[in-house]
Structure 1
Amino acid sequence: MKHCDFFGRELVVGDRVAYIDSKYQELRNGEILKLNEKQATIRNLDDNGLFGDKMGYGRTCRGYGCIVKKV
């Protein structure tokens, strides 16, 4: 299944994106870790290595309308 961002650009695992953090209502920078049918798991790149790459860590964006792929 093809996943697209707000502007219709195709998303793949490893893409760097800007997304809206639903908890804090802020624009954040991240990298896509996993794509599902209805949501994406994104690693926050603004955390300064606080959590690193620990298992199970990542923000979930429900709906691809809140994600913009960086060019």
Structure 2
Amino acid sequence: MTLKRSAGNASALEWFKSSYSDSSDGNDCVEIAATPGTVHVRDSKNTQGPRLAFTEAQWADFVTYTSKP
């Protein structure tokens, strides 16, 4: 994982969450925003809070790992 302090305006990113996020609290999940070369991740309950940034390869590895049974 790479933690980058990201300058800039988070509202300029197009954030979305998984269609599988169907909990009793619709904000109880993470949101991602993909940009060329980077995938940004934030807490949907704290959209102005800290964000994580992953390279595309790191994100793909994470998704592959977490989708294994």
Q: Which band: TM-score by shorter chain?
A: 0.3 to 0.5
Of the two structures, which has the highest relative contact order with CA contacts closer than 8 Å and spacing of 6 or more? 1
TM-score (norm 1): 0.36
Higher-helix-fraction structure: 2
The structure with the largest alpha-carbon Rg is 2
